[in-house]
C-alpha cells in the first residue's frame, strides 16, 4: 500500500478494510465499480482523515493508487475513469474553516458512468460480504501518545479516593488493567464503567459486578399521584375501543393530558397504518413515533432541542487542555459530539437521546456503549464543576431508541473516580392498537420518571452551588473525559490553510 495519509498515523489495515467495504457495498447494490464511485462512497472517511497538511494532489493520488491496489488484490478488473475530487476538496477546505456538513453525501453531479469487468469470484465475494458503511461510526485506534496519556491518567488517581468494593477490590485498578490493554478508544479511558459491557466479567467476580451495579443506585422516582391514578384507570381497558372511550375528557393535570394525547396519537397511527413501521425514515420515527419523549418536557423547566445538536459538555471536555499559543500555536476549538436530542436547562445539560431506524446492533453498541456513555460522562463532569458537593446525588438519563425498542441509560458517579452506566431492561412499542395498555403505558411511565430524574438533578445543582475559588486539579473527585490525540490532529490545520 502506498499510504493513504502519510502524516496522520491512520492504520493502513483499517483503510484497506474501508475500501473493501465500499467495494462490497457498491457491488451488492449492483452499482458498476470504478475508482470514482468508490471514492464517492468513502467521501466522509476521506474528508475526516485528511491531516490538514498533506497536499490535496498527493492525498488524491495516494487514495486512487491504494483503491487500485485493493481492486487488483481482489482480482477485479476495472476500467480507468475520470476521477472527480471537486466535492472532496471543497469539503476538506470547508472543514478547515470549521464549516460542518451533514454526514450523508449528496450524489455527485459530475461522476462519469464507468464499467467494470468482474470475475465470477469477485462478484460472489462482494455480494456475500456486503455491508453498509458509516465511516463516522468507529472507535479511533489509539496512538502511542494516547496510551502514554491513559497510563498517566490512572497513575494520577489518589488510591485513598478510589472505589474499594466489599471484597477489597479497587475498581479503578481493574479498569486500568483493561484500559492499558486496549488498542482502540473505549469508555474506560474516560473512567466510565458500563455495567452492561460483557468485558467486565473478565475483571470482576459476579458478586462484585452486582455491587458495582447497585451501590448507591439512583432509583427512578414515583409518579405524581394524579398520573399514577390515571394510568391505573386506563390499564383496565381490554382493547383500543374501550381505551379510547376513557380518553374523551380533557385532563386538568398537564402530565395526564400529555399521557392522554400521546395515547390518542398512537391510536391514530395504527388507524392510518403508520404503525407497524414500513418504509419510514429515522426523521419520521423521531417526529411521529417517539414524539412523546420530546413533548413530555413541554411544561418542564428542562427543555430539549435537536436534531443532531452538539453537546456543549462534549465540546468543553474535548477542549479541556487548550492553552494560549506559546512554543506551539493555539489548537483549534474542537466540536463536540452530536446527538438527536439534548435535554438541558440554561447552560447545563441533563440527558440525551439517540434514535435509529433499523435494529442495527453495531449502531446500538456504538451509540449506547460509546458515544452516549462519553457524552453523559462529559455532562456529569460539567455539572460536577458547577456543584462539586452534589456529585454523588447527580443522575443523568439517555434514551436509546432503535426501531421500536426503548432502553434508558442511567449515568451517575456512586464512588471513587468512576462514572457508572446502567441500562434499563429494553421494552418494545405495541405492534397493534389493542396492545397499547400493556406495552405503551410502561414506556410512557418510564419516560415521565426520566423527566423527574432530570428535574431533581437540576434542583440539586441549583441548591448546592460550588464556591468561587482557585481550581485545584489535584482535588478533583472525577476527571474530564479522555480525548484521543487523533481527533486533535484531524482538526489541526496548518500549511495549506494557514492564514497567519
Q: By mean pLDDT, which of 103-112, 184-193, 444-453 is the weakest?
A: 103-112
Its sign, for the CA torsion 19, 22, 26, 27, is: positive
Q: How confident is the model at residue 309 (pLDDT cuts 50, 70, 90)?
A: low
In degrees rounded to 5, what are phi and psi of residue 427? -115, 155
What integer is the mean pLDDT of 370-384? 94
Q: Kindly report, residue by residue over 170-201, the tens digit of the pLDDT.
A: 999 999 999 999 999 999 999 999 999 999 99
Q: Which three cell numbers stand for residue 360?
A: 442495527
What integer is the mean pLDDT of 441-464? 97
Q: Higher confidence at residue 112 or residue 479?
A: 479
Q: Report the pLDDT value the prediction gives residue 194, as an integer from 0 to 100.
A: 97
What integer is the mean pLDDT of 75-86? 78
What integer is the mean pLDDT of 361-370? 80
Q: How confident is the model at residue 51 (pLDDT cuts 50, 70, 90)?
A: confident
Name the nearest CA neighbour of 26 among 13, 14, 15, 37: 37
CA neighbours closer than 13 Å in the CB half-sphere of residue 99: 7
Q: What is the DSSP string of 235-278?
A: TT--SHHHHHHTTSS--SSHHHHHHHHHHHHHHHHHHTT--S-S
Q: Which residues of 298-313 are buried (b: 16+ CB within 10 A; e: fewer)?
A: eebebebebeebebbb
Q: By mean pLDDT, which of 109-113, 137-141, 292-296 is the weakest?
A: 109-113
DSSP 5: -
Within 10 Å of residue 474's Cβ, how many Cβ atoms?
Answer: 6
What integer is the mean pLDDT of 414-436? 96
d(CA 99, CA 402): 29
> Does the pLDDT at position 126 exceed 50?
no
C-alpha distances in Å from residue 324, one per residue of 134, 269, 299, 328, 457: 35, 55, 43, 9, 34
Q: Report the pLDDT value the prediction gives residue 135, as an integer from 0 to 100.
A: 33
Q: Report the pLDDT value the prediction gives residue 66, as an integer from 0 to 100.
A: 87
Name the nearest CA neighbour of 45 among 103, 1, 114: 103
Question: Rounded to 5 degrees, what angle do the CA atoms 446, 449, 454 make?
Answer: 125
Q: By mean pLDDT, which of 23-37, 147-161, 283-297, 440-454 is the weakest?
A: 23-37
All residues at 6 or more sequence positions from 275 whose CB lies less than 8 Å from its CB, including other chains = 266, 269, 289, 429, 430, 431
Q: Report the pLDDT value the prediction gives residue 343, as an integer from 0 to 100.
A: 96
Q: What is the DSSP string of 110-134?
A: SPPP--EE--HHHHHHHHHT-----
Q: Report the pLDDT value the prediction gives residue 360, as an integer from 0 to 100.
A: 66
> Does the pLDDT at position 101 exceed 70?
no
> Does the pLDDT at position 316 exceed 70?
no
SS3 of residue 64 by DSSP = helix
Q: Report the pLDDT value the prediction gives residue 359, as an integer from 0 to 100.
A: 65
> Does the pLDDT at position 103 exceed 90?
no
Within 10 Å of residue 494's Cβ, how many Cβ atoms?
Answer: 12
Q: What is the DSSP string of 318-369?
A: HTTT----SSSPPPPPPP--EESEEEEETTEEEEEEEEESS--HHHHHHIII
Bridge partners of 315, per DSSP, are none
Q: How confident is the model at residue 425 (pLDDT cuts 50, 70, 90)?
A: very high
Q: Report the pLDDT value the prediction gives residue 106, as an integer from 0 to 100.
A: 39
pLDDT more than 70, % of the chain: 77
d(CA 177, CA 158): 16
Q: How confident is the model at residue 122 (pLDDT cuts 50, 70, 90)?
A: very low
Q: Report the pLDDT value the prediction gives residue 72, as an integer from 0 to 100.
A: 87
Q: Which three cell numbers stand for residue 489?
A: 490532529
Q: What is the DSSP string of 396-433?
A: EEEEEEETTEEEEEEEE--STT-EEEEEPPPEE--SSG
Q: How confident is the model at residue 107 (pLDDT cuts 50, 70, 90)?
A: very low
Q: By mean pLDDT, which of 203-217, 236-250, 283-297, 336-350 is the weakest?
A: 336-350
| Backbone angle region of 143, left / alpha / beta, with phi > 0 → left and psi within -120 to 50 → alpha | beta
C-alpha distances in Å from residue 103, one per residue of 42, 91, 240, 385: 11, 11, 41, 33
> Does the pLDDT at position 81 exceed 60?
yes
What integer is the mean pLDDT of 198-215? 97
Q: Kindly report, residue by residue over 228-282, the tens digit of the pLDDT.
A: 999 999 999 999 999 999 999 999 999 999 999 999 999 999 999 999 988 888 8
Q: How confident is the model at residue 167 (pLDDT cuts 50, 70, 90)?
A: very high
Q: Report the pLDDT value the prediction gives residue 41, as an integer from 0 to 100.
A: 87
d(CA 282, CA 438): 25
In degrees rounded to 5, what are phi and psi of residue 74? -95, 10
In whole numbers, what is the pLDDT of the chain averaged over residues?
82
SS3 of residue 305 by DSSP = strand
> Does the pLDDT at position 474 exceed 80?
no
Q: Report the pLDDT value the prediction gives residue 335, as an integer from 0 to 100.
A: 61
Amino acid at each position: 500500500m502506498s499510504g493513504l495519509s502519510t502524516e496522520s498515523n491512520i492504520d493502513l489495515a483499517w483503510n484497506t478494510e474501508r475500501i473493501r467495504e465500499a467495494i462490497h457495498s457498491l457491488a451488492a447494490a449492483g452499482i458498476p465499480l470504478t475508482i470514482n464511485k468508490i471514492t464517492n462512497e468513502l467521501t466522509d472517511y476521506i474528508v475526516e482523515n485528511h491531516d490538514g497538511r498533506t497536499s490535496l494532489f498527493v492525498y488524491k493520488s495516494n487514495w486512487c493508487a491504494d483503491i487500485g491496489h485493493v481492486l487488483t488484490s481482489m482480482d477485479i478488473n476495472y476500467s480507468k475513469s475520470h476521477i472527480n475530487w471537486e466535492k472532496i476538496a471543497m469539503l476538506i477546505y470547508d472543514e478547515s474553516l470549521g464549516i460542518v456538513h451533514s454526514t450523508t453525501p449528496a450524489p455527485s453531479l459530475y461522476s462519469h458512468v464507468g464499467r467494470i469487468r468482474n470475475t465470477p469470484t469477485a462478484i460472489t465475494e462482494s455480494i456475500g460480504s456486503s455491508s453498509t458503511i458509516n465511516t463516522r461510526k468507529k472507535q479511533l485506534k489509539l496512538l502511542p501518545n494516547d496510551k502514554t496519556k491513559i497510563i498517566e491518567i490512572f497513575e494520577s488517581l489518589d488510591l485513598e479516593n478510589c472505589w474499594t468494593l466489599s471484597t477489597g477490590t479497587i475498581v479503578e485498578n481493574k479498569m486500568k488493567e483493561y484500559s492499558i490493554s486496549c488498542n482502540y478508544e473505549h469508555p474506560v479511558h474516560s473512567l466510565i464503567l458500563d455495567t452492561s459491557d460483557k468485558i467486565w466479567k473478565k475483571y470482576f467476580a459476579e458478586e462484585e459486578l452486582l455491587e458495582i451495579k447497585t451501590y448507591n443506585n439512583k432509583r427512578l422516582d414515583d409518579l405524581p399521584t394524579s398520573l399514577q391514578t390515571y394510568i391505573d384507570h386506563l390499564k383496565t381497558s381490554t382493547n383500543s375501543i374501550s381505551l379510547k372511550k376513557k380518553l374523551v375528557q380533557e385532563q386538568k393535570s398537564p402530565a395526564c393530558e400529555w399521557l392522554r394525547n400521546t395515547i390518542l396519537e398512537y391510536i391514530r397511527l395504527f388507524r392510518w397504518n403508520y404503525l407497524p413501521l414500513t418504509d419510514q425514515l429515522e426523521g419520521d420515527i423521531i417526529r411521529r413515533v417517539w414524539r412523546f419523549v420530546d413533548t413530555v418536557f413541554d411544561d418542564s423547566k428542562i427543555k430539549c432541542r435537536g436534531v443532531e445538536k452538539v453537546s456543549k459538555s462534549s465540546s468543553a471536555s474535548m477542549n479541556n487542555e487548550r492553552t494560549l499559543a506559546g512554543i506551539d500555536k493555539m489548537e483549534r476549538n474542537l466540536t463536540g459530539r452530536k446527538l438527536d436530542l439534548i435535554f438541558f436547562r440554561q447552560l447545563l445539560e441533563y440527558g440525551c437521546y439517540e434514535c435509529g431506524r433499523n435494529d442495527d446492533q453495531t449502531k446500538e453498541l456504538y451509540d449506547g456503549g460509546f458515544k452516549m456513555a462519553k457524552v453523559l460522562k462529559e455532562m456529569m463532569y460539567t455539572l460536577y464543576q458547577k456543584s462539586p458537593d452534589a456529585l454523588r446525588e447527580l443522575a443523568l438519563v439517555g434514551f436509546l431508541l432503535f426501531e421500536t425498542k426503548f432502553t434508558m441509560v442511567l449515568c451517575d458517579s456512586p464512588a471513587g473516580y468512576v462514572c457508572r452506566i446502567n441500562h434499563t431492561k429494553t421494552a418494545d412499542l405495541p405492534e397493534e392498537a389493542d396492545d397499547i395498555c400493556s406495552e405503551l403505558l410502561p414506556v410512557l411511565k418510564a419516560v415521565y420518571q426520566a423527566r423527574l430524574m432530570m428535574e431533581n438533578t437540576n434542583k440539586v445543582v441549583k441548591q448546592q452551588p460550588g464556591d468561587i475559588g482557585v481550581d485545584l486539579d489535584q482535588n478533583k473527585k472525577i476527571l474530564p473525559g479522555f480525548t484521543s490525540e487523533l481527533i486533535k490532529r484531524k482538526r489541526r490545520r496548518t500549511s495549506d490553510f494557514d492564514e497567519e
